[in-house]
């Protein structure tokens, strides 16, 4: 029986990935900043561990407590919509601390066991905004694009050990807590110079069209356990990926 460790399982994609793998008889180590057993079905194959990906000691403890794992999913992350000139450097640093450096740090903590066993998969969840840019998300996009570059280079160096690294790029998913969680990091959307751009972007989001469901992302992560780099998740992300190639 294989084991998967997932970051950011309190809601959204992480929660659905955990459910999806539990349903397929994997052992799941669901990690959360504030551990809650009640968000997932009761299962002898489930362990919920505390993990804030910005806390090095927390990472060390969680990886040690998890024991041997076969797949790591770096899913924890958040967004922030802001014009570049109105985004505080504190927010830029927070985005990178979680989305980029958190992903790198958890990966580093897991790699020695993967290399020694000559097996293992790292799945990094980034975003379809790295395939096709949209305005007001420059810092978020940069934090995720850095993970793409990190993952693609790392995949080359790990190949010799039989360890794989993949990217899953979800499209826009209004059904997770992403929007709510982004709100507290959002700055300057009322800046008079950007009001029209903000209006047109939110109007575009409100138009009917394809979106990504958490289930799409869980399926993509499932595929990533056997398939290579950059797997778009959701009809909208697939369309963007097709345009980008
Ligand atoms: N929804 C979208 O439109 C979309 C599109 C493309 C990519 N993504 C990416 O998909 C991933 C999951 O997002 P989601 O849509 O499922 O949003 P979500 O419902 O807000 O879930 C994000 C998860 O990340 C966790 N998290 C945030 N900071 C953390 C930290 N420092 N340490 C550990 N966990 C942390 C949150 O935990 P707390 O409950 O403790 O805050 C939550 O469990 C993110 O990386 C996001 O950037 C989302």
Q: What does the alpha-carbon distance between residue 129 and residue 141 come to, in Å, rounded to a whole number?
A: 6
Superfamily of domain 3-244: NAD(P)-binding Rossmann-like Domain (3.40.50.720)
Inform me whether the pLDDT recorded for 192 exceeds 60.
yes
Would you state the pLDDT for residue 245? Answer: 46
For Cα atoms 204, 206, 244, give the angle at the middle one, nearest 5 degrees.
45
Would you state the pLDDT for residue 230? Answer: 67
Closest alpha carbon to 232 in 173, 168, 143, 145:
168
Eight-class DSSP state of 99: I
Mean pLDDT of all residues belonging to the chain: 94
Asked if 36 and 8 touch (Cβ cutoff 8 Å), the reply is no
Q: What does the alpha-carbon distance between residue 35 and residue 239 come to, in Å, rounded to a whole number?
A: 36
Atom of ligand 1 nearest to the CA of 9: 43
pTM, 2 dp = 0.94
Ligand 1, atom 32, residue with closest C-alpha:
52
- Domain limits of the chain? 3-244
Q: Beta-carbon neighbour count of residue 94 at 10 Å? A: 17
Q: Beta-carbon neighbour count of residue 4 at 10 Å? A: 26
Residues 6+ apart with CB under 8 A from 67: 3
Ligand 1 close to Cβ of residue 127 (< 6 A): yes
Lowest mean pLDDT among 51-60, 137-146, 203-212: 203-212
Inform me whether the pLDDT recorded for 220 exceeds 50.
yes
Would you state the pLDDT for residue 231? Answer: 74
Would you state the pLDDT for residue 25? Answer: 86
- If one residue of 6, 8, 130 were mutated to test the ligand 1 pocket, choosing by the most ligand atoms within 8 A of its CB, it would be 8
Ligand 1, atom 26, residue with closest C-alpha:
76
């Amino acid at each position: 029986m294989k084991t998967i460790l997932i970051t950011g399982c309190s809601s959204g994609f992480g929660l659905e990935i955990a459910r999806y793998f539990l349903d397929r008889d994997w052992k799941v180590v669901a990690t959360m900043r504030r551990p809650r057993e009640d968000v997932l079905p009761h299962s002898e194959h489930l362990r919920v561990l505390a993990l804030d990906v910005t806390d090095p000691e927390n990472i060390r403890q969680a990886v040690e407590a998890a024991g041997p794992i076969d797949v790591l999913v770096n899913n924890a992350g958040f967004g922030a919509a802001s014009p570049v000139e109105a985004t505080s450097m504190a927010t830029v640093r927070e985005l990178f601390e979680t989305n980029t450096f958190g992903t790198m740090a958890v990966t580093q903590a897991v790699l020695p066991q993967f290399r020694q066993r000559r097996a293992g998969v790292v799945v990094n969840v980034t975003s379809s905004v790295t395939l096709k840019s949209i305005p007001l998300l420059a810092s978020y996009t940069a934090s995720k694009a850095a993970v793409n570059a990190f993952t693609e280079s790392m995949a080359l160096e790990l190949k010799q050990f039989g360890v794989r690294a993949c990217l899953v790029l979800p499209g826009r998913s209004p059904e997770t807590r992403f929007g709510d969680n982004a709100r507290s990091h959002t700055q300057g959307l009322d800046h008079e110079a950007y009001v029209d751009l903000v209006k047109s972007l939110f109007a575009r989001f409100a138009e009917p069209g394809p979106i990504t469901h958490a289930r799409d992302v869980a399926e993509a992560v499932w595929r990533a356990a056997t398939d290579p780099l950059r797997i778009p998740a959701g009809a909208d992300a697939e369309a963007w990926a097709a345009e980008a190639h």
